[in-house]
Amino acid sequence: MALMGQMMGAPLLISSIIKHAARYYGTTEIVSRRTEGDLHRYTYRDCELRARKLAQTLEALGVKQGERVGTLAWNGYRHLELYYGISGMGAVCHMINPRLFAEQIAYIINHAEDEYVCFDATFLPLVEGVAAHCPKVKGWIMLADRAHMPTDPKVPLLCYEDLLDARDGHYTWPELDENQASSLCYTSGTTGNPKGALYSHRSTVLHAYAAALPDALGCSARDVILPVVPMFHVNAWGLPYAVPLVGAKLVLPGPKLDGASLFDLFEREGVTFSAGVPTVWLGLLQHMQANDLKFSTFRRTVIGGSAVPPAMIRALEALGVEVIHAWGMTEMSPLGTVCKLLARHADLPEEAQHRILETQGRVIFGVDMKIVDGDGRELPWDGKAFGDLLVRGPWIIDRYFRAETPAHDDGWFPTGDVATIDPDGYMQITDRSKDVIKSGGEWISSIDIENVAAAHPAVHMAACISVRHPKWDERPLLVVVKRAGMEVSRDTLLSFFDGKVAKWWIPDDVAFVTEIPLTATGKMQKLKLREQFADYKLPTA
Ligand code: AMP
């Protein structure tokens, strides 16, 4: 018989994170921009008390362990209370992305069988639209006080602040099994119906520990952290757990994600660290460049969700902000890899350091990865061979919510991304497998092309998509939104690629557009672009 360890069997629970923050960082602040328009401030101690009142409320409403409670909310203190109150009492906090189509939202609420849905005032019209299609929802809870409740709503509503006021907070967090479900997120699903990733207390706490490590996100109690990445999109990359775990001050931007509002909040609250998708930083950079602004405290940001164009890394660095490129997905809680230099890279010339920092980085402990060819054979880590990226680990999905079969083969989850891995383990995504351009049997990385285009001063945003070609099957088309007030011709832009990529990778044409459609999570919607340009005649065809 194996000799068992003799340590306490304390389960890894989400409630233990907020209990820890309240007990050891009780006076540390959480500052939120509210839908009401003002800035709200309170402490971890206040947050934990209100999360307990929420747990009492849910029990009184008849919510049982394992049942789902939906949220439609911005990054704010009430949403944080939902994260802890719902999961802490043993129910499942289901974050719904309000940017999805109403039909998808109704589908998700019904598939999850949400008992209640808690929503910010902004989403009242959305709730009034979907409620009739969600007959199983027992109640819609508006995250507001009595004074801000609508007088004549089309759906019967419960008032969040009234519900909390009716409770005394005398509540002890239950000792759950750490493998119990804690929260649920659906993938944005560019094709087919969205699919649910059901996280556990154990996977969430382990992920929070790992995310906080110095060579991962690197969170400290001395930081002031502002997650721009929404709490309705993959748990805001785990920051709502990792930040209280380290006891840092948390700043939540609410609905105001434009450059001017973010800059104001960064300066006002002394933010040192942030996280968001590239499109958010585009807006902020534009605002700062137009107004000749500088940050006084902001030093580091994590960027992921889409590949970060090297030009964006340079632009933020010029403002004194270190960019940490990270990769992950809903099915991975989401963190997989983070890009930081190793000690022996310190003496490399700046150019060489940059080339490393542009990759998606190395795995954090807890994630294992490999790349394979079409027959499932593992490919070498030479930085050149590219293949399907597979992952495994304790915070990676085993099966989708309500699926009959596992989401993986032989214990490895196929990410749907195509990547290279270099001898040091730095992974670089070359494409989403659906977005790869297959020209004459060879693959062209759309991300590489976009990165080159994004470095041109007149380019605001660029997407590279495949277009049918009679000889090569597919050839790349570059779709470009020009920077306001700047001009560039097709030929100038194409000659910008000379010497930067292989000749046969250079796009066959450029289409200038006023807007590139974005997905509900701020990524360029290439599927839609491909539809839009389905009949496009390339000059080479
Ligand atoms: P989501 O589940 O919505 O977070 O989307 C996950 C997908 O976003 C991944 O499978 C990648 O295709 C893409 N993605 C996330 N981070 C990056 C990154 N740093 N570079 C390139 N693609 C990324």
Q: What is the DSSP string of 31-73?
A: EEE-TTSSEEEEEHHHHHHHHHHHHHHHHHTT--TT-EEEEE-
Residue nearest to atom 20 of ligand 1 (CA): 307
pLDDT score, position 100: 87
CATH of the domain at 79: 3.40.50.12780
As a whole number of angstroms, the distance between CA 105 and CA 194 comes to 9
- In Å, how far are 369, 397, 398, 444, 474 from 414, measured between CA atoms? 10, 10, 11, 20, 24
Judge if 328 and 441 occupy the same domain: no
- 415 C-alpha to center of ligand 1: Å? 9
Atom of ligand 1 nearest to the CA of 523: 8
pLDDT score, position 191: 61
**Domain membership flag for residue 385:** no
Residue nearest to atom 8 of ligand 1 (CA): 305
Helix, strand, coil % in the chain, rounded to nearest 5: 30, 25, 45
pLDDT score, position 276: 95
Residue 136's closest CA among 108, 95, 102?
A: 108
Read off the tokens for 25. 């960082």
Atom of ligand 1 nearest to the CA of 429: 21
| Domain region containing 143 | 14-338
Which three-class secondary structure state does DSSP give residue 195?
Answer: coil
**Domain membership flag for residue 541:** no
**Domain membership flag for residue 421:** no
Judge if 316 and 462 occupy the same domain: no
Q: Which amino acid is at 67?
A: E
- 431 C-alpha to center of ligand 1: Å? 10
Judge if 79 and 215 occupy the same domain: yes
- 278 C-alpha to center of ligand 1: Å? 11
Chain segment 161-191, per-residue pLDDT in tens? 999 999 999 999 999 999 999 999 998 765 6
End-to-end CA distance of the chain: 71
Residue that terminates a domain, selected from 338, 353, 381: 338
Read off the tokens for 538. 């390339």
Judge if 333 and 444 occupy the same domain: no
As a whole number of angstroms, the distance between CA 54 and CA 459 comes to 48
pLDDT score, position 301: 98
User: Where are the strands (E) in 422-531, listed by range?
Assistant: 427-432, 437-439, 442-444, 459-469, 473-482, 509-512
Judge if 273 and 152 occupy the same domain: yes
Assess contact for 333 and 327: CB atoms under 8 A: no
User: Where are the strands (E) in 366-441, listed by range?
Assistant: 368-372, 387-392, 413-421, 427-432, 437-439
**Domain membership flag for residue 379:** no
pLDDT score, position 338: 98
As a whole number of angstroms, the distance between CA 270 and CA 256 comes to 17
Strand 442-444 versus strand 459-469 pairing type: unpaired
Chunked mean pLDDT (size 10), the chain, 541 residues: 95 98 98 97 98 98 98 98 98 95 94 98 98 98 98 97 98 98 86 89 98 96 98 95 98 97 98 94 92 97 93 95 97 98 97 96 98 94 95 98 93 96 97 86 88 94 93 93 93 94 92 92 88 92 85
User: Where are the strands (E) in 181-320, listed by range?
Assistant: 181-186, 196-200, 224-227, 249-252, 273-276, 300-303
Judge if 333 and 449 occupy the same domain: no
**Domain membership flag for residue 346:** no
Residue nearest to atom 4 of ligand 1 (CA): 329
Which amino acids are annotated catalytic? 187, 331, 438, 443
As a whole number of angstroms, the distance between CA 273 and CA 299 comes to 6
Atom of ligand 1 nearest to the CA of 432: 12
**Domain membership flag for residue 288:** yes
Judge if 333 and 455 occupy the same domain: no
pLDDT score, position 189: 60
Assess contact for 57 and 15: CB atoms under 8 A: no
**Which helix H or strand E contains 157, and what residues bound it?**
strand 157-159
pTM here is 0.91
Residue nearest to atom 1 of ligand 1 (CA): 329
pLDDT score, position 353: 97
Judge if 302 and 449 occupy the same domain: no
CATH of the domain at 482: 3.30.300.30
Atom of ligand 1 nearest to the CA of 330: 2
Residue that terminates a domain, selected from 275, 309, 338: 338
Residue that terminates a domain, selected from 323, 338, 353: 338
Number of domains observed in the structure of the chain:
2
pLDDT score, position 520: 82
Q: What is the DSSP string of 273-311?
A: EEEE-HHHHHHHHHHHHHHT---SS--EEEE-SSPPPHH
- 327 C-alpha to center of ligand 1: Å? 6
**Domain membership flag for residue 504:** yes
**Domain membership flag for residue 38:** yes
Judge if 301 and 450 occupy the same domain: no
Judge if 195 and 324 occupy the same domain: yes
As a whole number of angstroms, the distance between CA 120 and CA 309 comes to 33
Residue ranges around ligand 1 (CB below 6 Å): 187-188, 234, 304-307, 325-327, 329-330, 334, 360, 415-417, 429, 432, 521
As a whole number of angstroms, the distance between CA 164 and CA 82 comes to 12
Cβ contacts of 316 within 8 Å, gap of 6 or more: 281, 285, 301, 322, 323
Judge if 445 and 331 occupy the same domain: no
Residue nearest to atom 22 of ligand 1 (CA): 306
- 403 C-alpha to center of ligand 1: Å? 23
Chain segment 481-492, per-residue pLDDT in tens? 999 899 999 999
User: Which strands sit side by side in the sheet containing 196-200, from one edge to the other?
Assistant: 157-159, 139-142, 114-119, 68-72, 92-95, 181-186, 196-200
